[in-house]
Amino acid sequence: MVGSSKAVQVVLHIVMIALSLFCLLPFILLIVSSVTSEQTLIQNGYSFFTTDIDLAAYRYLLVDSGTIVRGYLISAGTTVVGTTLNVIVTLLFAYALSRKDLPGRAFLSFFLFFTMLFNGGLVPSYMMWTQVFGIKNTFAALVVPNLLMGAFYVIMMRTYFNTNIPDAVIEAGRIDGASEVRILIQLVLPMSLPIIATIALLVGLGYWNDWLNGLYYISNDRFYGIQVILNRMLLDTLFIKNNASTTLGSQLAIAVPTTAVKMAVATLGAIPVLIAYPFFQRYFVKGITIGAVKG
């Protein structure tokens, strides 16, 4: 931007640096605390600095207790399966809806959009999923309810098709005698990779971070994903200790570093997203920007 003085620029940079630190510092507290020895933590509390590094909490979580490793696998499986299904269903629905010549298009758009305005809430959904479909304590409970397809992403993708794929391309395909399926796969899909990547990313993040489906529908702790384990460990202080016995058998003498374990487990929940973030940042910002434009 042109025309603001150097002093103003310096002040603005200071403000933004302060805000960036405000956003990042809590993570430093979390990570530093997770590698501090239990004794120091009990004495000095959670802190931003430590000289007494001790990885006991991680050793306990990753080696001694199977819970976290299993939680990681469940979360990863849910994310991959859920994201794949969601992108396929969303893509098919959005593409068909983007075709301006489709009879019944207005009704179908309304049918989709109405789900953003009105919803039945938790009680009827919970009863339907548990009693009609019996999904309690199944893998499907983590993938299917609420997350498999959302009107917002469908509208985002439909808008992309309508603005970025000229009708002439589809018309040309049709004249050449290509079937609808071939038009979608061979003509439309290659032109839509940016929006597919963006939506896959947002959906994937949603699945990785989701803990509500686990909270509602999973009561057997063998099926807990990482976020649900996090939820349980903070609210139920016995959860950490109870899980100690699962693999250790009779060796209960080992003291669990409870204070550090709390921070270590949260670090493990956050770290995959933090590591992947620089790589997907571009698509993520694009997603926000598209979302900002009216669908």
* Footprint (CB under 8 A) of another protein, residues 2-61: 2-4, 8-9, 12-13, 15-17, 19-20, 22-24, 26-27, 29-30, 33, 41-42, 44-48
Give the residue with the Cβ less far from another protein, 247 or 282: 282
- Residues 76 and 268: their CA atoms lie apart, in Å, by 13
Q: Is 80 in the site for another protein (CB under 8 A)?
A: no
**CA-based nearest residue to 68, from 229, 205, 217, 203:** 229
User: What's the CA gap between 83 and 99, in Å, rounded?
Assistant: 24
Is 273 among the residues that bind another protein (CB under 8 A)?
Answer: yes
Give phi and psi for 54, each to the nearest 5: -150, 125
Q: Where are the alpha helices (DSSP H) in the chain?
A: 6-34, 38-44, 56-59, 67-98, 105-117, 122-127, 140-143, 151-164, 167-175, 180-182, 189-191, 193-209, 212-217, 226-235, 238-248, 258-292
Give the contact letters, 201-220, x = binds to another protein (CB under 8 A), - = no: ----x--xxxxx---x----
Of the pair 100, 250, the CB lying nearest another protein is at: 100
Q: Which of positions 275-294 make contact with another protein (CB under 8 A)?
A: 277-278, 281, 284-285, 288-289, 291-292, 294
Q: How far is the CB of 10 from another protein (least distance, A)?
A: 11
Spatial separation of the C-alpha atoms in residues 52 and 36, rounded to whole Å = 6
Give 6 or 249: the residue with its C-beta nearer to another protein.
6
Residues 124-143 that bind another protein (CB under 8 A): 124-128, 131-132
